Amino acid sequence: MRRFVAPLALTLSIALSACAPGASPPPVSATSTPVVTATPTTPPKLIVAVSVDQFSADLFAQYRQHYTGGFARLMTGAVFPAGFQSHAATETCPGHSTLMTGAHPSRTGIIANNWFDPASPRGDKPIYCAEDESDPASSARNPVVSAVHLKVPTLGEMMKKANPATRNVAVSAKDRAVMMMGGHDIDAAYWWKGAGFVTLGGRELSPAVQAENAAVTAELKRGAPAIAAPAWCASNDHAVNVGKAAVGTYRFDLAPDKPDQFRISPRMDGATVDLANSLVDEMQLGKGPATDVLSVSLSATDYIGHATGTEGVEMCIQMAQLDQNLGRLFDHLDSLGIDYVVVLSADHGGLDTPERADEQAFPRAIRADKSLMPAELSKAVAAKTGIVTKGPLLIADGPFGDFYVSREIGPDQRAVVVKALVATLKTNPQVAAAFTHDELAVTPMPAGNPQDWTLKDRARASFDPARSGDVVVLLDRAVTPIPEAMPGMYIATHGSAFDYDRRVPILFWRKGIHGFEQPQPVETVDIAPTLAQIVGLKVPDGTFDGRCLDVDGGPGNTCEANK
């Protein structure tokens, strides 16, 4: 690490050699102290890839003025406030699948958190993105966790292939985040289940994980007091009625033996960071002969966003705690003297709960009408076409996304159902667009500025011919696809094709790079090609959908440095 501060002599010798023989060196102002920075030209020893689940560009914009911990450091690096998860299905699994592969979901194959194969024995039972359903013990609700559905390698896997000494490690509260960021070939993979961290089938928990689980078990047993809200949370701190409950003032006091209360709190991120730090020590990450990869997906922002929305005191407290937790992660790596590069981004953005949006000058935010639920649409289409099936006529995971027509009926009748479904949807003011499978299959993959992509382009980037539905439904802007807010259940969400769900910050930091802010849109598929160049990984042309971003704002060029 120190070696990137030291090469003053090197910097000067380059400056001098650039001068014509006999010319004087450039004058140095006597009144200013020259800042000694040198762009690192050797690969770092560790990539730290952080995903903050549901961390929208809007949250970053709202809270960046208050950050003093890990975010404050990241903001001295390369700041891209308008990163795009460019695709339509802005869910956790697709979003995480883009971060370390450099590929859109149309190529990663991860079109949604859950999809269906009506022709398989599963029928109307969902297939979970991070399960291996060929294992009879697996179900979407209790999956045998696997990356088998991910059709492309992750950066860590590509690096391991190039140099088997690379270690590829991923931790999160969510199994799907671990599998999508780590991929098929993971040296250590841990996620939260029930009341502790678990790992892949057939593997043991390492001593570091056992120790973290023991610490969490003790905390769960005794509970914990409320978390103080910073003074700058005052304007967020008021109750809003949502269905039969109220949100907006909760401070995360933890009752004993409430693991779910723990999970939906900043403490979940704290435990994830503690585990990441312990794994760095245990595996000596960043100290080996090759560059290692540590993926850390912090899930609490998402859990809190779903449970309480994005504009209450709960999210405000979480933003402060997240900043501190990130600081602990980076401080630990600093204390070990590891030369690391960080990227932080998110799998998708999010939208506040419509009841508070209504109070806060966004009255058009509404909940989806129950008539859009798959069972209701099935009834409407059956009435319209006279086509009746024993099982559900239409299969879907909710009131939007991929809709599949039952395979109880043949292709001719299915075509009739598709036509009737699209016609029904198009009369609904809450539906922005409905595209058929055939339509998306002939739509070219979009390119150019993701901000300007049409809705069909966005749907195309989420489309996989073998996995996508017969009809893809996009709800209109600000329609929350949760028809009814039930106490204790999710009240707010993401998943739309609009920019509040697509736009996420992308922040790069490494000691020695010249910081800058680039407000123009970039994409999350740019992250993997950018890191590949920084570590000097050579990949065949066409490996990535994204491009290398030069994350040194000065004369250095991180897209050229290690070619």
- Contact residues for Zn ion (CB under 5 A)? 53, 92, 302, 347
- Kindly state the smallest distance separating residue 490's Cβ from Zn ion, in Å: 12
- Six-digit token string for 29: 């102002």
- Kindly state the smallest distance separating residue 90's Cβ from Zn ion, in Å: 8
- Kindly state the smallest distance separating residue 178's Cβ from Zn ion, in Å: 13
Nearest-angstrom CA–CA distance, 343 and 369:
39
What is the helix, strand, coil percentage profile of the chain, to 5? 35, 15, 50
Region at 210 (left for phi over 0; alpha for psi -120 to 50; beta for the rest): alpha
- Six-digit token string for 514: 């010249």
Residue 278 or 480: which CB sits closer to Zn ion? 480
Residue 129 or 431: which CB sits closer to Zn ion? 129
Question: Who's near 358: CB < 8 A, 6+ residues apart?
Answer: 365
Residue 126 or 512: which CB sits closer to Zn ion? 126
Residue 54 or 530: which CB sits closer to Zn ion? 54
Residue 99 or 425: which CB sits closer to Zn ion? 99
Which residue type, as a one-letter code, is found at position 536? G
Q: At what angle do helices 207-222 and 266-283 cross, to 10 degrees?
A: 160
Which residue type, as a one-letter code, is found at position 94? P
Nearest-angstrom CA–CA distance, 9 and 215:
48
Residue 126 or 286: which CB sits closer to Zn ion? 126
Residue nearest to Zn ion (CB): 92
- Kindly state the smallest distance separating residue 493's Cβ from Zn ion, in Å: 10
Nearest-angstrom CA–CA distance, 519 and 77:
14
- Six-digit token string for 236: 């967020």
- Kindly state the smallest distance separating residue 79's Cβ from Zn ion, in Å: 22
- Kindly state the smallest distance separating residue 189's Cβ from Zn ion, in Å: 18
CB 105 within 8 A of CB 468: no
Residue 92 or 146: which CB sits closer to Zn ion? 92
Handedness of CA 338, 172, 529, 551 (dihedral sign): negative
Which SS3 state, helix, strand or coil, does residue 387 take? Answer: coil
Strands 431-436 and 394-395: unpaired
Nearest-angstrom CA–CA distance, 444 and 456:
10
Residue 177 or 208: which CB sits closer to Zn ion? 177
- What sections of 336-449 are H helices per DSSP? 354-359, 374-385, 411-426, 437-441
Backbone torsions φ then ψ of 419, nearest 5 degrees: -60, -45
Beta bridge partners of 321: none
- What sections of 100-192 are H helices per DSSP? 105-108, 155-162, 175-182
For residue 92, indicate whether it is catalytic. yes
Secondary structure letter of residue 470 according to DSSP = S
Catalytic residue among 90, 92, 493, 524: 92
Q: 233 exposed, middle or buried (CB, 10 Å; 0-12, 13-18, 19+)?
A: buried
Residue 53 or 470: which CB sits closer to Zn ion? 53
CB 511 within 8 A of CB 1: yes
CA dihedral 146, 152, 154, 155 (to 10 degrees): 170
- Kindly state the smallest distance separating residue 137's Cβ from Zn ion, in Å: 26
- Kindly state the smallest distance separating residue 562's Cβ from Zn ion, in Å: 32
Catalytic residues: 92
